[in-house]
């Protein structure tokens, strides 16, 4: 009996290894690949979406824009062409949610500092006060990496239209008049085709971990 097992030992090992490989292949084939949804305006709460596009069901992308960053450089969609990016809305003198959001953006910046596929974009919601010099001062104070993260200012209507009609992330305080004020904690994940792939609470550490996880999923698509 012992001689029988000795004779077929290597054959048994071969079968065991082969079986393990086959099981692993079957598992990988049957296991569904993680994919992120492609968000359309009709999938998002109406309070976050401009009324003119709330029924849009497909083909939604981020509109082209022309804004100015902390260095006075003109920033357009070309800067983000072929990139994944995270966008948010803030203002430099905010004392409530914005400092937490900025800290979380800094965390993302640090985690992905060596990843050329992923960039960051923060829009001020009070562009009249947040001039280029003010954004530069804020960027230096916070440790913003200019190559990775643009803080942008510009025409208020353009920024607010981007929030409401492109990023679908705009909670508002006030009406459309001079006291209109966008207020949102949302971080928005945008893919290389300018489509929205996720929304995250920018004040939540757990949500930022989810965002970082989802970026890795998006990079594999």
- CA atoms 12, 15, 20, 23: torsion sign: negative
116 contact partners, CB below 8 Å, separation of at least 6: none
Residues in the annotated binding site for Cu cation: 94, 98, 183
Return the structure tokens found at 176. 């459309």
**Cβ contact 64:76 at 8 Å:** yes
Beta-carbon-side half-sphere exposure of residue 166 (alpha carbons within 13 Å): 20
Report the distance separating Cα 149 and Cα 140, nearest Å: 12
Report the distance separating Cα 149 and Cα 105, nearest Å: 9
**Cβ contact 110:139 at 8 Å:** no
User: Assign residue 209 a region: left if phi > 0, alpha if psi is -120 to 50, beta otherwise?
Assistant: alpha
**Cβ contact 157:170 at 8 Å:** no
Residues in the annotated binding site: 94, 98, 183
Report the distance separating Cα 178 and Cα 169, nearest Å: 20
């Amino acid at each position: 009996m012992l001689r029988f097992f000795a004779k077929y030992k290597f054959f048994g090992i071969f079968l065991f290894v082969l079986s393990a490989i086959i099981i692993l292949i079957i598992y990988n084939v049957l296991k569904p690949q993680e994919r992120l949804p492609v968000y359309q305006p009709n999938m998002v709460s109406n309070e976050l979406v401009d009324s003119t596009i709330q029924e849009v069901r497909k083909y939604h992308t981020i509109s082209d824009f022309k804004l100015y960053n902390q260095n006075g450089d003109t920033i357009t969609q070309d800067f983000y062409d072929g990139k994944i990016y995270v966008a948010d809305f803030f203002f430099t003198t905010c004392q409530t949610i914005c400092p937490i959001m900025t800290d979380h953006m800094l965390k993302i910046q640090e985690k992905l500092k060596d990843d050329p596929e992923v960039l960051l974009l923060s829009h001020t919601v009070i562009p009249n006060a947040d001039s280029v010099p003010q954004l530069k001062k804020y960027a230096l104070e916070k440790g913003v990496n200019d190559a990775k993260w643009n803080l942008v200012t510009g025409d208020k209507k353009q920024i607010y239209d981007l929030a409401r009609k492109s990023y679908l992330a705009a909670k508002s305080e006030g009406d459309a008049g001079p006291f209109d004020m966008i207020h949102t904690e949302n971080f928005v994940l945008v893919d290389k085709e300018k489509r929205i792939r996720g929304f995250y609470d920018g004040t939540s550490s757990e949500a930022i971990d989810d965002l970082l996880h989802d970026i890795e999923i998006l990079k594999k698509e």
